[in-house]
Amino acid sequence: MANLALGIDTGGTFTDGVIFNLDNRTVEAKTKVETTRHDLTLAINRCLDQLIAAFKQNNGELVDIGQIKMVSVSTTLATNAIVEGQGAEVGLIQIGFETREGLPTPYYEIIDGGCNIKGRITKEIDMDAVKKAILGMKDHVDAFAVSGYLCIRNPIQEIEVAELIRNLTGYPVVAAHQLSSELGMHERTVTAILNARLMPLITDLMDSVKQGMEKMGIEAPLMVVRGDGSLISESKAREKPIETILSGPAASIIGALTLTGLEEGLVVDMGGTTTDVAVLKEGRPSLNKEGAKVGGWLTRVRAAQITTIGLGGDSLVQVSKSAVLTIGPQRVFPLCWIASQYPYLTKELEDIKTVDYSMMDTQPNFILAYIRDPFYLKMTETEKQILDLIKDGPHTLHYISKKLGKAIDLLPWQRLVNVASVHRAALTPTDVLHVRGELDLWDRRAAELGTHMLAARYRTSIEEFSDQVIEEAIYKLALVTVDRLLEEEALGFSFNQEDGRQNMLRKVLGQKLNNKEQLFDFRINLKLPLVAVGAPVEAYFPSLAKKINAELYLPEYADVANAIGTVSGQAMERITVLVKPGEGGGFLVHTPTKREFFMIFDEAIDYACQEGQKYVKEQASQGGAKDIETVVERQDRYSKMTTFSEDDTQSMETKIFIESVIEISAVGKPWSS
């Protein structure tokens, strides 16, 4: 009897599923369903139902649920939420420092406290001030984050403040030391805020998958893909959802490796919301040592070196009143799709086909769809009216403005979108492919109406505008692809600059080679194979590959590569333990949870290795790993000091101990026979 795994990738647009044979590593069944963002349970249940039905059809026998040894999930929800600025509102308590850079929340308070680089507390916390700050933010936020000055050297103050927040509010709370042991106050603080922001989203996803598993009678462990391609248990993912950023693209890299067997290549994953690019070398992606950067925010999350842009099949296509075309980074529902679900919307779009919106800031084809009421946001009266109006079904902004008697440009809908209570529908590349006849999935008439409105703002025909949208999408794909390779080569050069470099790349992509009227040709020749995975890749990548002279791989099951990648990884935990000189002699050991002092160096090293291995094995076990093995790597760092004799005739070099960096990894199988 074969050992099976069930893999699910929940993206912003589609939820993909596979049943994978763990013994011979083949796909037994696959499916693709629409992601129902207002209720993820619907998409998960539909995915599970269709997978089991497809497996029965392919095998001609009843499914033994006991064959399913693991259910694993990857998702772009966390990445998409950061790119789109959505998720919970977060209150931040900063202990002992003030950041001079921007933060992904407007709600924060600075409290005295903190420690020094050795972990010694330099100033005690005024807990009354902390209590006042917490209660002052409580009604404006959904979750909390705590970040203290150098608390990675001694986390006690972060722990105390986090506990007080739990007692006073019951809200989710995360402390920065739980997520990273790296220095960099701003990056660690950003990481903690984003982690808190993502908690409700990941909780919804985990709950939806668990409910679907219970309905099907599946009792296998539930795993989640991290941003580095490794797997963790669902309980760990609930605590640290920030580690699932780039989960989807990381899974796609593992899936591309599984599908092609390539050891070297450039993997491009194009989904509904984002396009992600990674370089595959020696059979695995390289890790980003500084931390993953998503949506403009640099984090301290260990992840594959992936470049992400807000471009996908469902990216928002806009034309400004000055006739400037942009695509992304926001994701919206395609007009063709939402009109197929709510046919009356085609009539609403027909009603505004001839309305002149050329001098308005608002896009003429925007539709607002209800998702859920805000968790804690205090809404204005008009915001409440907008939600009440669309609860029974989405409507165009034109319809809403007429019902409420307010000008479209004055409707306050943006905050509702930001907190994911409302989602927009508008023109997307998916709509344009319907207009061009390259897709025939949903309501083509709605796509034509939306394209007509923007073509009028762009002052051109529907046909020319449609071509321009596709060419702009291909240009953006080329931009991120070439820039990722330039970054890999560390050339210090990027096409992604607002200068002549972009014009040069457009020249490369748009030229006709060997044209006698041109004085010279620009050419790009990719030396690595280009592996394209994701649902819409066939519409774009054959053309892109020709323009950049790349060997293109569109593997079988490319449309569900992410789901395949979810069941192809290992369970893994990594930590760093530091041994550093004490303030007055001796040695300090800094683990992820505490600091300890030793007079003897060897004792400090032994303690660091033993406690580190114990901690990382516990974490790996809690993360769902089986048959765990640990690997310890130690690097001792010294500086050299040269001293001279009194008569300067002799010199002597003395080594001065700086630190020992001990990297400890635990690797295990994510399922058991």
Give 464-520 pLDDT, tens digit per residue.
999 999 999 998 898 888 888 877 776 555 666 555 555 556 656 665 555 555 555
Residue 457: partners with Cβ closer than 8 Å, 6 or more residues away: 319, 320, 321, 323, 357, 358, 364
- What is the rounded distance in angstroms from the CA atom of residue 451 to the CA atom of residue 610? 64
Cα 266 to Cα 290, 469, 529: the distances in Å are 21, 25, 6
Give pLDDT tens digits for 19-36: 999 888 888 999 988 887
- The answer on pLDDT for 528 being more than 70 is yes
Residue with tokens 């748009």: 510
Query: Is the omega angle on the peptide bond into residue 200 within 30 degrees of 0, that is, cis?
Result: no
Provide mean pLDDT across the span 162-170.
Answer: 93
Distance of CA 470 to CAs 315, 333, 435, 589, Å? 12, 18, 12, 56
- pLDDT of res. 325: 93
DSSP letters spanning 298-350: E----EE-EEEES-STTEEEEE-TT--EEEEEEE-EEHHHHHHHSTHHHHHHH
| Torsion sign over Cα 596, 601, 603, 607 | positive
pLDDT of residue 299: 83
* % residues pLDDT > 70 (the chain): 92
Contacts of 356 by beta carbon, 8 Å cutoff, 6+ apart:
none
- Alpha-carbon gap, residue 237 to 623, rounded angstroms: 9
State the Cα–Cα distance between residues 91 and 93, nearest whole angstrom.
7
Task: Tell which wins on pLDDT, 144 or 651.
Answer: 144
pLDDT at 601 over 90: yes
Q: Look at residue 61 in the predicted model and tell me its pLDDT.
A: 62
Q: Between helices 247-260 and 77-84, what is the axis angle to 10°?
A: 130
**Is residue 80 classed exposed, middle or buried when 0-12, 13-18 and 19+ CB atoms within 10 A define those classes?**
buried
Distance between CA atoms of 531 and 187, rounded to whole angstroms?
A: 32
Confidence of residue 389 (pLDDT cuts 50, 70, 90): very high
The answer to whether residues 621 and 606 touch, using CB atoms and an 8 Å cutoff, is: no
DSSP string, 109-169: EEES--B-TTS-B-S---HHHHHHHHHHHGGG-SEEEEEETTTTS-THHHHHHHHHHHHHH
Question: Cα(425)–Cα(423) distance, rounded to whole angstroms?
Answer: 7
Return the pLDDT at 583.
83
The contacts of residue 589 (CB under 8 Å, 6+ apart) are: 577, 578, 579, 595, 596, 597, 598, 604, 607, 608, 611
User: Is 262 within 8 Å of 284 (Cβ atoms)?
Assistant: no
Q: Please give the biggest Cα pair distance in the chain.
A: 97
Q: Is 503 exposed, middle or buried (0-12, 13-18, 19+ CB in 10 A)?
A: exposed
Instruction: Report the alpha-carbon distance of residue 265 to residue 253 in Å, rounded.
Output: 10
Q: What is the mean pLDDT of the chain?
A: 86
Residue 66 or residue 415, greater confidence: 415
- List 525's β-bridge partners, or say none: none
Residue 652 phi/psi, 5° resolution? -145, 135
Please give the structure tokens belonging to residue 221.
């462990």
Q: Is the pLDDT of residue 286 over 80?
A: no
Task: Give the other-Cβ count within 10 Å of 354's Cβ.
Answer: 9
Confidence class of residue 346 from pLDDT cuts 50, 70 and 90?
very high
d(CA 145, CA 162) in angstroms, rounded, equals 8
Looking at the DSSP assignment, which residues form a beta bridge with residue 667? Answer: 572, 629
Residues 416-453: pLDDT tens digits? 998 888 999 999 999 999 999 998 989 999 999 999 99
**Domain coordinates of the chain in residue numbers?**
1-88+206-317+477-568, 89-171, 324-458, 571-669
**pLDDT tens digits, 237-272:** 888 888 888 788 788 888 988 889 888 889 998 888
CA 117/CA 152 separation, integer angstroms: 9
For residues 321 and 665, give the distance between their C-alpha atoms in angstroms, rounded to a whole number. Answer: 55
Q: What residue has token string 């026998």? A: 61
CATH number for region 1-88+206-317+477-568: 3.30.420.40
The highest-confidence range among 56-65, 96-105, 558-567, by mean pLDDT, is 558-567
pLDDT at 615 exceeding the cut of 70:
yes
End-to-end CA distance of the chain: 11
Angle between helices 185-216 and 77-84 (to 10 degrees): 140
For residue 672 the two structure tokens come to 């058991």
Question: Do residues 252 and 560 touch, judged by C-beta distance below 8 A?
Answer: no
pLDDT of residue 627: 85
